[in-house]
Amino acid sequence: MLPHHLGPPSTPRTPHGLTALTLLLTLPLLLTLLTALLPGVGNSAQAAERLLAPLPLDRLYDNTAVSDDATPEKADFDGLGASLSAQDLKAAGWTPGGALTVQGARLTWPNSAPGSPDNVRAAGQSVWLGGTGDALAFLVAGTDGDGVTGSGTVSYADGSLSSYRLTAPDWRTGPLATKAVALPHVNTPDGQLAEKARLYVVTVPVAAGRQVVSVQLPYAPALHVFSVAVRPVAADWTGSWATATSGYQAVGPWTDRTLRLVVHTSVGGPRVRLRFDNTFAGAPVRIGRATVAVQDSGAAARGGPVPVTFGGASAAVLPAGTQAYSDPLAFQVPADANLLVSFHLPGTVSAVPVHRLAVQRSYVSEPGDHSADGPATAYTSTITNWPLLTGVDVGGGPGSVVMLGDSITDGDRSTVGANRRWPDVLATRLLAQSAVPRYGVLNQGVSANRVLSDRYPGDGVSADLGGVSALNRLDRDVLAQTSVRTAVVFQGINDLLSGASADEVVAGLRQLADRAHERGLRVLAATLLPCGGVAGCTAAVEAERAEVNAYIRDASVFDGVLDFDAALRDPAQPTRMRPEYDSGDHLHPGDAGLAELAESVDLALL
């Protein structure tokens, strides 16, 4: 089923209902009219034609955003003489003509020298594109001091059209939590300013299965477009394991070390690919070599680790804010099993994007590339987080279910190394039945995470690794995940405990559901568990929790409800968890409680 906002395909016709012959005969007249009526885009037929005939984006560049630090006057991004620093971009790994993969879309940074046109001010231009997928990805920024919003049109090979709405946050004041990259300076003719310059990747849905041929940009000249691409659908892949980047943490530093991370699959398959993310980073990171193996025990591999490649090369460089997928590898991935993903960091790494709460021990080697080692000898120290690695996909399969949650979904207070998080138990249930597809289960829980507000600020090294808000991470952690079919939202108690009202939490949950529905996903919501006994869980908070749960149970915005509150609350004291399910802190279930959550899920809802 198509996302509801796209509607059914229109009858294959040219725009405005004109036949091809009529359009051909009237094109000179249209050009003349456009020339007369749109003086802001030029005073020639050639300028008007630029609005009608789809052209590659680089042929439409009409603004210069990037300057050399020595000659800042040669660029004027915002109409006030300010610009991006070419040196800062280079330091971030964003080089002219370089590939940038963000949210699963492969974009290209403009192949322009500093001081040369490198972006388009959106004014209704028609941009040539090709490909099928689930979204268009725009690399954008606004320059009017606030977010810039406009509507445009996607054209398909069958003659049909769909509309979209795009918002570009401001390059100097937009949220750091959702930026693709932040640069440390702004260039001006009067000197360099030490303030963050931001660039964003924003996706909008397209009709699945239809060949995109062009996109008409919005009319919003303060909205600047640097690159645009169709994000392909991962039709032959199912997400088996994933984790969310919860922040950017100081480490080591690690110099010439190999990390061997232990991850637990949900479903298996005959092929594998890995995903690495340099989210929130300000500098590139180099992966020298990477391998995958089935775990024997500890850091020891069962059989020899198998190397993966990246675009045919053994190494990969991830510019700041981007990701890298390994090439497909023929490798039999077992279901419900531990893998060892090993990767060598040949340079010095002092900070990395991490998922803080792995509830799993992983390993760091002595100096050298030990990614191909079968024995555990070189791996002499342990870590309890997951740096850089964010996904393991397997070939084939029916797609995946994504769990968007906080510490309860993350597995806080569950047994370390035992894979007893409730999504793990749910994945085992799915494997043992045949009534519904055996979906992959992707755990995107982040301990301390909130629906509404950021714990991690979204930029720079920080000791707070509670992640950006669910609203700010939805695009990356749900919508861009491999082959996602259904999203389960189980969050809100941290918001209430930090002072948010039930109305505010409900509004956030509704927004999450609406945005996921726009992408064609099913959305399930889980009721919030009781927190009686926790310091700060007052009668007022309990009343707000009850109000949120009443909304979840009754709201038509969700496609189904998982009543986790009913599954775990104590009948004798409904504001508390049953003692046998309580980990002891009165907020997080222990292993038995997490298993009960998974057992309470009606699989047919997935």
Question: Is there a domain that residue 305 lies in?
Answer: yes
**245 and 205: one domain?**
no
Question: Is there a domain that residue 547 lies in?
Answer: yes
pLDDT score of 35: 39
**476 and 327: one domain?**
no
**338 and 422: one domain?**
no
Residue 375 in tokens: 């024995």
Question: Is there a domain that residue 45 lies in?
Answer: no
* 462: three-class secondary structure by DSSP: coil
Number of domains in the chain: 3
Residue 360 in tokens: 């799993």
Rg (CA), the chain: 25
The DSSP bridge partners found for residue 231 are 135
| Full DSSP string of 198-264 | EEEEEEEE--TTSPEEEEEPPEEEEEEEEEEEEEPP-TTEEEEEE----EEEEEEEEEEEEEEEEEE
pLDDT score of 317: 98
Question: Is there a domain that residue 42 lies in?
Answer: no
pLDDT score of 368: 98
How far is residue 422 from each of residues 158, 334, 490, measured CA to CA in Å?
A: 45, 20, 12
**544 and 481: one domain?**
yes
**525 and 402: one domain?**
yes
CATH code of the domain in which 551 resides = 3.40.50.1110
Question: Is there a domain that residue 117 lies in?
Answer: yes
**250 and 218: one domain?**
no
pLDDT score of 555: 84
**216 and 298: one domain?**
no
Residue 352 in tokens: 């990395």
> Considering only CA atoms, which of 156, 204, 169, 189 is closest in space to residue 519?
204
Question: Is there a domain that residue 578 lies in?
Answer: yes
Distance of alpha carbon 444 from alpha carbon 421, whole angstroms = 12
Q: Which residue among 397, 428, 443 closes a domain?
A: 397
pLDDT score of 51: 53
Residues of the chain with pLDDT under 70: 1-52
Question: Is there a domain that residue 8 lies in?
Answer: no
Question: Is there a domain that residue 265 lies in?
Answer: yes
Q: What would the pLDDT profile of 25-49 be if each residue is shown by its tens digit? A: 333 334 333 433 444 444 554 455 4
**341 and 225: one domain?**
no
> For 311-367, what is the HEC assignment?
CCECCEEECCCCEEECCCEEEEECCCCEEEEEEEEEEEEEEEEEECCCCCCEEEECC
**278 and 173: one domain?**
no
Q: Which residue among 397, 424, 455 closes a domain?
A: 397
**295 and 160: one domain?**
no
**469 and 549: one domain?**
yes
What domain range is 171 assigned to? 53-231
**544 and 435: one domain?**
yes
pLDDT score of 20: 32
Q: Which residue among 397, 431, 462 closes a domain?
A: 397
Contact criterion met (CB below 8 Å) for 52 and 30: yes
